[in-house]
Amino acid sequence: MKPRLGTLVIEDSRLAREGLVRMLAEFGDQIDVLGQADNAENALVLIEQLRPDLLFLDIHMPGEDGFALLERLDYTPRIIFTTAYSEYAIRSFEFNTVDYLLKPISPLRLAQALAKLSGDQDKEPDSHNAKRLLDINSKIFIKDGDHCYLVALSSILYIESCKNYVRAFFPDGAGGTIKNAYVKKSMNQIEERLPRTVFFRASRQYLVNLQAIRSIEESISEGFEVTMLDGKRLEISRRNAGKLKDLLSF
């Protein structure tokens, strides 16, 4: 039996929130509702405490909207958006979106969304296909269009999330200029194979090679701003700044 997915329901309407929780109770073998929140700030507190696998997330809420909340997270849970507005559907798929449910949500439509989730869970690697953890001395093959690269993992400066792809930045072995290449994998898929003592999740959008940081300065947001070896400046949030200090301290 597969473990149940720890889930938060984030919705500003009490009636809609409680109605969705009641419907989810019918899927107790799959979903474990850990808590509820009525705005982004309350949701962020619960997410940091509980680290849920799945969010049912409204887009329009008082204060920050659902997209702004996701930008503040330091990991990427699966998302089922719940909204009365169809115009945000395209943007929603910049995130780890399972489905996009328009209110009012019917039991049938909810069941269809959870069936997609079950399909994702069934795609577990077997013993022959499981991906091994890379070490810093590994070399990786990247094919980007007509170009092929054999790249030392240690030479990758940082990795950027680009919707359904990631983009790796690394120096060209011949002239030292910085190349970049796209890989059709999610940021989560890439991150789970990288050595965590070397690659740090600076934000939802960037993974950085700690060995490729040229300098670190405090930022006005009470976090850090790091400058990479190629001059790229990246923001480290206040929440992630503590993790970075732990990694780089004696």
Pairing between β-strand 54-58 and β-strand 97-102 as defined by DSSP bridges: unpaired
The pair of structure tokens assigned to 135 is 């070490």
Supply angle C-alpha 60, 66, 71, rounded to 5: 150
CATH 3.40.50.300 fits 5-122, yes or no: no
- How far is Cα 173 from Cα 50, in angstroms, rounded to an integer? 44
Q: What is the pLDDT of residues 164-185, one digit of tens each?
A: 788 999 997 666 789 899 888 8
- How far is Cα 207 from Cα 159, in angstroms, rounded to an integer? 5
5-122 and 139-248 share one fold? no
Q: May I ask the CATH architecture of the domain 139-248?
A: Beta Barrel (2.40)
CB 133 within 8 A of CB 195: yes
Q: What is the pLDDT of residues 105-134, one digit of tens each?
A: 999 999 999 998 876 544 444 433 345 678
State the pLDDT at residue 173: 66
Section 213-229 average pLDDT: 86
- How far is Cα 13 from Cα 19, in angstroms, rounded to an integer? 10
Q: Is the peptide bond before 104 cis (omega within 30 degrees of 0)?
A: yes
Q: Where are the beta strands (DSSP E) in 51-191?
A: 54-58, 78-83, 97-102, 139-144, 147-152, 158-162, 165-171, 178-183
Q: What is the pLDDT of residues 38-85, one digit of tens each?
A: 999 999 999 999 999 999 999 999 889 998 998 888 788 899 999 988
How many CB atoms sit inside 10 A of residue 79's CB? 21
Parse the chain into domains and list their residue ranges: 5-122, 139-248
